[in-house]
Amino acid sequence: EKKDAVFAAMSNKVKVSKENIAAATQLFTPDWIVRYMVENSLGRLWVDGHTDTSARSEWKYYLDEAEQTPDVQAQLAEIRAGRKGLTPEQIRFIDPCMGSGHILVYAFDVLMQIYLSCGYTERDAAQNIVRNNLWGLDLDKRAYQLAYFAVMMKARQYDRRFLTRGIKPNLSHFQDLPTPDYSLLDEPIKSFVEQFENADTYGSLITVQADDEIDKALDDFQGTLDLTFGHMEHLMQLYNILSQRYDVVCTNPPYMAMSNANAKLKDFVEKKYPDSKSDLFAVFIEKCSELSKLNGYYSMITQHAWMFLSSYEKLRKKLQNKTTVNMAHLGARAFDEIAGEVVQTTSFINANYWIKDYKSTYCRLVNAKSEKAKEDLFLKHNDLFFRCSSLFSNIPSSPIAYWKSNSFYSLFSNKRIAEYMFSDGQILTGNNDLYLRYLWEVEAYKVNDDLWRLHTKGGNTRKWYGNIDMVVHWDEKSIYHYRHDSTARLLDEKYWDKHGIVWNGTCSPNNLGARYLYSNESFNKAAPGIFLRNDNDSEYYYLAFINSCVGNDIMTTFNSTLYRSVADILRLPIIINERDRVEAITAENIELSKVDWDSFETSWDFKKHPFIRSVTTIKEAYEQWEQECNDRRAKLKANEEELNRIFIEIYGLQDELTPEVDDKDITVRAADLQRDMRSFVSYAVGCMFGRYSLDTEGLAYAG
């Protein structure tokens, strides 16, 4: 309930306070993903130095390493040689965002398997694991209490007398840290305490410096003074956990856009983590690397936006100095408790070293539609890709496009759409409630007559043409406002009457829905647009390519989220061939889509209802209309498939793509008896009231 309340407040632009960060970000990690992360980090650490271990047989989510070149194998052997002497007691494993301890509990099981393979008893192993191996932190005190209980009960499972032994887990939290009275403190204790200022907001992101002088002072100080301003034991525990480096860091970090963060957290992140400041999950990618020992592993599940979006390009470049061992690219619906396509995730294991030409293993699970389906697909090991990260730098902004072929990477030696088209931004009114209207809300004679201008603001996915169902206020006073208001924006006047291409900024990952924009139409931030650099050129070829399966496939390489920016479109590589054929098909597609759009009252160019025909019954009219719709959809589908064939051949992607178009992706409407009869009744009422007339096409009166 609290999480729902926090999200409702966020939707109303309320920033997340330090008390509500936990509620906004807590999410239970699916069990199989926990096993994947732990087995491929903690398990791998042990296998590196103990290849013959019997514990390996227990790990069904463990991925074997890709076949490497002799040079890479030699470098790996040198790193792994240092692990042959590693004993179970020496392993340090931390979850810095431990929640209720799910990851720690499974790490306990894996550690137990490692200890038993070395001849330890379950009782001795349990004591060692709690005392020496497991560490954990969380912002939320309640989560800490749950994790503490879970780890203690896990130890009790293997040692019946464990609760009487006085052994405490190495776990802690950041809530309820009191504000100290610095006047009572001398250096270096004061410096020590100052490190924890705002720790209840920053959590595991705070940095503490291990310092011999502080360590000595703490030893001298401990137990000599009852600090009324706080709990020194608590601070010392946090210090001990955060000042160490770990063999394995494994976590599901918080996901929260920093635009929703309170000012203190946002300022901290922007200063300390400028390359990952967009979201907390990305910040924790850097933090987990910092917590990891040289040659250690860090394993995470995060949103997958960092793999593609330009805002994370600097973070990707940093990560090129690490080695991705393997990745389970989950996509949407990896968490059954989260419906829809918004949260798209990936889980990965990085090694805190870099080896040139190392082949990482990627398991592509994005097409499976549920938590269980993704797990089943992972276990089949069918969709595995083996790639060197250096390949990704061939693509602008270096997205992690592991599933692409070598021929795909070579496409980016061609020109980009940006050399032929550009963007000057879009109209932002600063107050849509005041300045935007639907077409049917205004006096018709004032549209396109210096008062209202046709306008598109997104809508349902449509290709080729449509979604022009709004108008924007366009008198001198409004234009002055758009130019001078701090939250508004207006295109340069020389672009007001230019035709171009628009699309829905938020769209289906597999169907961008680019549309032709006529010169008397304008567009909004929800429907970004681009214009030709050369007025003698034509948009038709570029529109066809953007709407083709080739254009979409390349674009999802840059960006697999639900938002397509202008930059995503302009960076597409464009190869111009068979232009006349492509443009002829595109012109026909625009006309087919316009006829469909204009068949309904919501279009400015609506003439008459499609049931108005030279027949004697509505049934006959509907049957003719139904046949027209079917013919139009069939023709548009054939045209789109022909364009796909042309571009697949031009781009040499015959082995990767097929031209077929799914019926559900045809964006002109099929006949629908219920909907179309309702629209006919609406048209009849319009005739009765004088809006329409059987003697006149289009609007008879609206004003």
Average pLDDT, consecutive stretches of 10 residues, N- to C-terminus, the chain (703 residues): 70 71 69 97 97 94 96 96 96 97 97 97 98 96 95 97 96 82 71 86 90 74 52 85 96 91 94 96 97 97 91 92 96 74 87 96 94 95 93 88 88 93 89 92 83 89 94 93 92 89 80 89 89 94 96 83 83 95 98 96 94 95 97 98 97 93 94 96 95 91 80
Q: Strand, coil or helix: what is 119?
A: coil
The structure's pTM equals 0.78
To 5 degrees, how large is the angle CA 634–CA 638–CA 641?
A: 140
Cα separations (Å) of 612 from 620, 671, 680, 681, 696?
11, 15, 9, 12, 12
Residue type for position 700: A
Rounded distance between C-alpha atoms, residue 276 and residue 397, angstroms:
15
> Residues 247, 298: contact at Cβ < 8 Å?
no
Distance, C-alpha 200 to centroid of its chain: 27
In the block, tokens 């108005």 appear at 612
Phi, psi of 153 (to 5 degrees): -70, -30
- Give residue 352's identity as a one-letter amino acid code: N
Measured CA to CA, the distance from residue 81 to residue 595 in angstroms comes to: 71
Amino acid letter for position 190: K
Cis bond upstream, residue 188 (ω within 30) = yes
pLDDT number for residue 236: 86
Would you put residue 461 in left (φ > 0), alpha (ψ -120 to 50) or beta?
A: beta
Closest CA to 682 of 608, 597, 596: 608
Q: For 526-564, how does the pLDDT look when each residue is reduced to its tens digit (9 = 90+)?
A: 888 999 999 899 999 999 999 999 999 998 887 766 778
Q: Give me 286's structure tokens.
A: 């850097």
Encoding tokens for residue 356? 């040139």
Q: Pick from 501, 503, 520: which is nearest to 455 by CA?
A: 520
Geometric angle at alpha carbon 247, from 244 and 251, rounded to 5°? 90
399 and 558 in contact (C-beta within 8 Å)?
yes
Residues 6+ apart with CB under 8 A from 41: 248, 249, 250, 297, 298, 299, 349
Listed in order, strand segments (DSSP E) in 35-193 are: 93-95, 134-138, 170-173
Judge whether 253 and 210 are in contact, CB under 8 Å.
no
**Residue appearing with tokens 């005190």:** 141
Query: Which amino acid is located at 614 in the chain?
Result: S
Looking at residue 27, its pLDDT comes to 67
User: What pLDDT does residue 229 have?
Assistant: 43
CB 477 within 8 A of CB 451: no
User: For residue 86, what pLDDT is reported?
Assistant: 96
The three-state DSSP-derived secondary structure of 498-552 is: CCEEECCCECECCECCCEEECCCEEEECCCCEEEECCCCCCCHHHHHHHHCHHHH
The position carrying tokens 């040079």 is 71
- For residue 370, the 8-state DSSP code is S
Q: Which of 56, 76, 81, 58 is nearest to 66 (CA)?
A: 76
Query: Tokens for 493?
Result: 């006047």
Q: Could you tell me which residues come within 8 angstroms of residue 178 by beta carbon, excluding any fewer than 6 positions away?
A: 229, 230, 231
Q: Hunting for tokens 């705070």 — which residue is that?
A: 206
Predicted local distance difference test score (pLDDT) of residue 507: 74
pLDDT value at position 228? 42
Site of tokens 């960006």: 559
pLDDT of residue 558: 76
What does the alpha-carbon distance between residue 146 and residue 104 come to, in Å, rounded to a whole number? 11
